[in-house]
Amino acid sequence: MEKEYDLIVFGATGFTGRLVADYVNRIVAAGEPLRWAMAARSLDKLAQVRTQIGAPPQLALIAADACDARAMAELVAKARVVITTVGPYQLHGEALVSACAHAGTDYVDLCGEPVWMARMIPKLQAAAEASGARIVFSCGFDSIPFDLGVLFLQHAAQERFGQALARVHGRVRVMKGGVSGGTIASALATIEQIGRDTRLARIMADPFALTPGFRGPAQPDGELAAYDALAKSWSGPFVMAVINTKNLHRSNFLLGHAWGRDFCYDERMLSGDGETGRRRAVAMQRKARLQAMLLGFGPTRALLRRYALPKPGQGPSARQRETGCYELLFIGQGRDGQVLRAVVTGDRDPGYGSTAKMLAQSALCLMRDIPRSLTRGGVWTPGASMGLALIERLQQHAGLRFVIEG
């Protein structure tokens, strides 16, 4: 049955949702044939966003509450694909994603909450398979550049060497951009959930938390300062590794272990060579430990929420988003000693300017480029569901570049 809309942006009144809506409006104005609508709790706020982004007055607005299961079912029945930026997902996400899984509506989000994802995967998989819904988590900076960066590198390795790479080092060379209150709210919600149920800490620490029924080999420790001989640089912990590593192993799992059942992946931030690089790496390690200790203390979280942190709906300025950028290095090692490198770059700040484009283009890729005959219903990663088609789309439309180095 024909749906009323190709796409609904849910959460369009939030900081990231407004950026996504603005981007979608721009590409429609430039000629993308798309029937779309914006949705959120408040029609008044949606009308304000419609005016702010310069969308036509006839653009449909839908009032719906994320916690109202009936409203979510009615919403998803109208669309081929839903984009949602309403988080923390562990607090506000289940009704919508469940409605999509049961209705056969495709779904993309920017979730970086492994505990919630680990709970949703077994809960939604059978319903999504039955309905044909493609449920795709983590379609923002966590984890598209990392997930697709490794996929791109492995594809090149299979073409060049005839086999996949057994181990890949993900390394952040450059990351310039701001942080919004929504991201911080998700992190704090996860910490508080673990505080209520300490068993959840094992999920956060487990690189195979998103591969039910499969456990691979021990993975490298990403929490310590270390010298990377292949990158010729010291390196320290990277804050997004806790989610990206899990998504990478899930992609390999969903692809039938195309990279091997012994595949290893670790992700770190480069700090430079020599003694200066070592000191920076040690400082990264100390900072990560201090942050974990402070955020684990309830009164500290309360003070941060009240006085120091941006609130949900706030984020970096337009100038910060436009002048931000990132550069990621992936170094793979083959089982026979081969080495191959790939670089992924983005032209906006990672969490917002670039994420808005990645999220929207992921929805369009599912809709335009990936027939349901190629990707069955289920709970997916971007790499396993859209793969090279999404890489091509992001390079053409979203300011990302994927290049084999050397």
- The pLDDT tens digits of the residues spanning 323-378 come to 899 999 999 999 999 999 999 999 999 989 999 999 999 999 999 999 998 899 99
Specify if 16 maps to a domain. Answer: yes
Residues 165 and 288 in one domain: yes
For residue 357, the domain's CATH number is: 3.40.50.720
**131 and 168 part of one domain:** no
pLDDT of 303 reads 60
Query: What is the predicted pLDDT for the residue at 336?
Result: 94
- Convert the pLDDT of each residue in 35-72 to its tens digit: 999 999 999 999 999 999 999 999 999 999 999 999 99
What token pair was written down for 102? 């049961």
Q: Are residues 372 and 269 in the same domain?
A: no
Secondary structure in 3-state letters for 23-68: HHHHHHHCCCCCCEEEEECCHHHHHHHHHHCCCCCCCEEEECCCCC
166 in a domain, yes or no? yes
Residue 78 and residue 107 in contact, taking contact as beta carbons nearer than 8 Å: no
Which of 79, 58, 55 lies closest to 363 in space, CA to CA? 79
Q: Looking at residue 305, what is its pLDDT?
A: 62
* HEC profile of the chain: CCCCEEEEEECCCCHHHHHHHHHHHHHHHCCCCCCEEEEECCHHHHHHHHHHCCCCCCCEEEECCCCCHHHHHHHHCCEEEEEECCCCHHHHCHHHHHHHHHHCCEEEECCCCHHHHHHHHHHHHHHHHHHCCEEECCCECCEHHHHHHHHHHHHHHHHHHCCCEEEEEEEEEEEECCCCHHHHHHHHHHHHHHHHCCCHHHHHHCCCCCCCCCCCCCCCCCCCCEEECCCCEEEEECCCHHHHHHHHHHHHHHCCCCCCCCCEEEEEEEEECHHHHHHHHHHHHHHHHHHHHHHCCHHHHHHHHHHHCCCCCCCCCHHHHHHCEEEEEEEEEECCCCEEEEEEEECCCHHHHHHHHHHHHHHHHHHHCCCCCCCCCEEECHHHHCHHHHHHHHHHHCCEEEEEEC
User: Are 232 and 305 in a shared domain?
Assistant: yes
Q: Is residue 403 part of a domain?
A: no
Same domain, 262 and 119: no
Inside any domain, residue 406: no
Q: How many domains does the chain have?
A: 2
Check residue 370 and give its pLDDT: 97
Same domain, residue pair 308 and 342: yes
**Same structural domain, 129 and 256:** no
Residue 404 included in any domain: no
Same domain flag for 40 and 119: yes
Domain interval for residue 380: 5-140+353-396
Same domain, 149 and 114: no
Q: Are residues 199 and 291 in the same domain?
A: yes
The answer on 42 and 20 residing in a single domain is yes
Q: State the pLDDT at residue 179.
A: 56
Residue 321 falls inside a structural domain: yes
User: Does a structural domain hold residue 392?
Assistant: yes
**What pTM did the predictor assign?**
0.95
Question: Could you tell me the strand order of the sheet in which 400-405 lies?
Answer: 226-228, 233-237, 264-272, 165-176, 325-334, 339-346, 400-405
Tell me: do 119 and 162 sit in the same domain: no
- Those residues of the chain that have pLDDT short of 50 are none
Residue 250 in any domain: the answer is yes
